[in-house]
Chains A and B, each alone.
Chain A
Amino acid sequence: MSFVKLSVPAIAIAAASATAAAARDNVQVAGSSTVLPYASIVAEAFGENFDFPTPVVESGGSSAGLKRFCEGVGENTIDIANSSRQIKDSEIEACAENGVTDIIEVRVGYDGIVFASDINGNAYEFTPSDWFLALSDKVLVDGQLVDNPNNTWADVNPDFPAIDIQAFVPGTKHGTREVFEDKVILAGCEETGAFEAFKAVNGDDKKAAEKACISLRTDGKSVDIDGDYTETLARIESNKDGIGVFGLAFYENNTDKLQVATMSGVVPSTETIASGEYPVSRPLFFYVKKAHIGVIPGLKEYAEFFVADEVAGPDGPLAEYGLVADPELSETQQVVADEATMDSNS
């Protein structure tokens, strides 16, 4: 039959091209969905201005990206992991086990985490304590640690309306979650004095107390969002009383649907984050496999282009999109130029 005759060369072509697939000529990036928009802006401009192909940028969360990053060295692994938090020691160890030893850490700038509710809903002025009292598993009542009894925001803080607590926080695979825990929940834990109580219960163990602080309630008041911010936004649109955790850039693109809450009296903006007034911000990173530099064409050029003044600087396109430029950008540029790896002892 004719299709048999036709399909034989087709299979031959497929097989031949498969063997020719030895060299990858594009940079492959994966990781944080917070860094994704910035990385895609850079990748696009990189493809336009250089003779290299446009890098491929996937998302999936910081932890997922770093896990893929640490799978090994070679063309079938990614070259760069985007991350909205610093790489953990355990991840560095996992990397080393798979032969990924020389890692270049590049800090691209800062990003704010904002709390936002529906545009027509109630306006909030939060402090970290409010969030701890609203979402923690156990809180301090009359000097006793009890299961969180707060059902409405008015229970948390009499200034707030009696609206049921409904918070959409990033899932654990997101780097944003960690910053939320560190800068908001843990801070609130310490402010309310629950930290000391946890410490006493756990026999002065600081680590255990921190862990107890950041364990969130599981009765449905706090919902983990494993997807992207669009999912959080969709949840808020369907549940007007909900409050979500977003990246600053995402909020700034959706100001017609969301209103932002202040944190400790400060309105989040690139200015207040740069000055350090707004407390909930975190650095954004990407990690480069040094072993791939020179093997994958354009990898070093991409990294250098990402942190160039005209891209990541205060007047560059990234800052325009919502990134808070790093005042120490020139040092980062030096790190990339020197291909200086992280301290391998750490």
Chain B
Amino acid sequence: MTDISHQSAPQSRHAGSLLQKDSRTVRRNRAEARFKIYGIFAIAVGMLMLAVLVYNIVTRGVGAYSQTFITLDVELLESKLDKNGNRNLEEIKKVTTFGYAPLIKNAFEKKVEELGIKTPLKPKDQAAILSKSAEAQLRDFVIANPDKIGETIEFRFLANSRVDGYMKGRVTRESIANDKSISVEQLDLVDQLHKAGVLNKTFNIDFITGADASDQRPEAAGMGVSMIGSLFMMLVVLALALPIGVAASIYLEEFAPRNWLTDIIEVNISNLAAVPSIVFGILGLAVFINYMHLPMSAPLVGGLVLTLMTLPTIIISTRASLKSVPPSIRDAALGVGASKMQAVFHHVLPLAAPGILTGTIIGLAQALGETAPLLLIGMVGFIASNAPDSIASGLLSPNSAMPAQIYEWAKRADPAFYERAWGGIIILLVFLVTMNTVAVILRRRFERRW
């Protein structure tokens, strides 16, 4: 071989020195160098985009993870909360959150007096720097501990979103010139309370564990419940899409005869993978809600819709990994007398499992970030349910999903929700990166190459 090439080389090319490149070689080398630069440039652009994206998300969203709190000692007046003094829970429940407002107002007034802060504000306006969720927090506490009525208890209340924005630098004295929700005097009070150590900005675990809140109290909104909604949807997807997808692809790949019917099925599965997700949402509305009468806004329905969406992804990746198992393994198993099913389940499937798992995880990650189909089945909206107490209620009681919650926040009027939307994106991205990392690790560790 070497002899032949050695002999034929001078004939096909101009004779030349190896050290001195001829013009054609120089051109080819230049083209190669140019291509490398293009490639590096393309990667650099991609990395730059990613860096800008991550930078934007983190800088805008990180604020959601800290929150301004105000510590107050509230006297749980028996005269307001339990007029008859018999600690009957039903009677205590009759006092609505509106009935708790005076207690907080008194506590605030007392605190300001105690600290010797001079302010021209009326007590009502002073207490207005607290979140509207304070009353609800107080009421929940009293209903959980009716025996504490009459005592003075220390509470940590959220400050309202304007005050919180002021502490984070989003709201300034200039920007509130036309704002009716807060005044310069209130900001002065905030400064003084901050100096006295009553008002502090700390890490906000409620953002990660809490439920959505209404437009009036963005400071109390959290991702927790929608995370649980997403979790239940993913469980449904996993429980349905994985067995159905794997069964379908094993049959198609290993058992089905090759004819026009299987060809049509194959083409259709590929087509299904390319169908926009909103189409599955419309289908879900028509089939699961209007025809099967499943409840609206339920993660079960969301999970079913996302199952439809994920199935083709799983089938395609499973078939690919089944195909990559060399036929010699099947032949060897069949040769020693295994049935076809034994060959598949004992030998082919275990070898294909890492690929199947990777495909499934990527399919799940895709489903986790999907909003459009949820729009039509009522999972996008104000859904401030409590964390579900059982598997059945987790599947059936109304809930949102992480991307739906982010979308919902991004739409709301108060700028504080905007910050929370970015904060939510960080959580969602952490989930997605984790899932994809797990997929990569699984593939690296268990995949076998032939």
Contacts and interface: CB of A to CB of B under 8 A. Distances in A.
Interface stretch (A43-51, A106-114, A328-336): A43-51
Interface stretch (B192-200, B256-264, B380-388): B380-388
Interface in A41-87: 41, 43-45, 47-49, 51, 53-54, 56-59, 74-76, 78
A141 interface: no
Interface string B158-195: 00000000000001000111111100000000000000
B397 A37 contact: no
B176 to A, nearest CB: 7
B97 A252 contact: no
A245 interface: no
Contacts of B396: 17, 20-21
Contact of B96 (A36, A250, A310): A310
Given A18-B300, A20-B392, A253-B415, A7 B98 contact: no
A317 B98 CA distance: 10
**How big is chain A's contact interface, by range?**
35 or more
Chain B contact residues, majority secondary structure:
loop
A253 B175 CA distance: 11
B382 A1 contact: no
Nearest to A233: B413
Given A4-B243, A17-B392, A76-B296, A43 B382 contact: yes
A250 B413 contact: yes
B300 A40 contact: no
Contacts of A49: 96-97, 139
B395 interface: yes
- Chain A CB count within 10 A is highest, among B140, B246, B381, for B381
Nearest to A42: B214
Nearest to B408: A59
A43 B381 CA distance: 12
Contacts of A228: 411
A230 interface: yes
A7 B385 contact: no
Nearest to B211: A54
- Chain B CB count within 10 A is highest, among A3, A30, A228, A229, for A3
Contact of A47 (B297, B345, B384, B412): B384
A43 B214 contact: yes
Given A11-B240, A17-B392, A18-B294, A45 B381 contact: no
Contacts of A24: 295-296
A14 interface: yes
Contact of B236 (A14, A33, A317): A14
A254 B240 contact: no
Contact of B243 (A3, A13, A22, A320): A3
B4 to A, nearest CB: 55
A176 interface: no
A75 B295 contact: yes
A249 interface: yes
A10 interface: yes
Contacts of B242: 3, 7
A75 B296 CA distance: 9
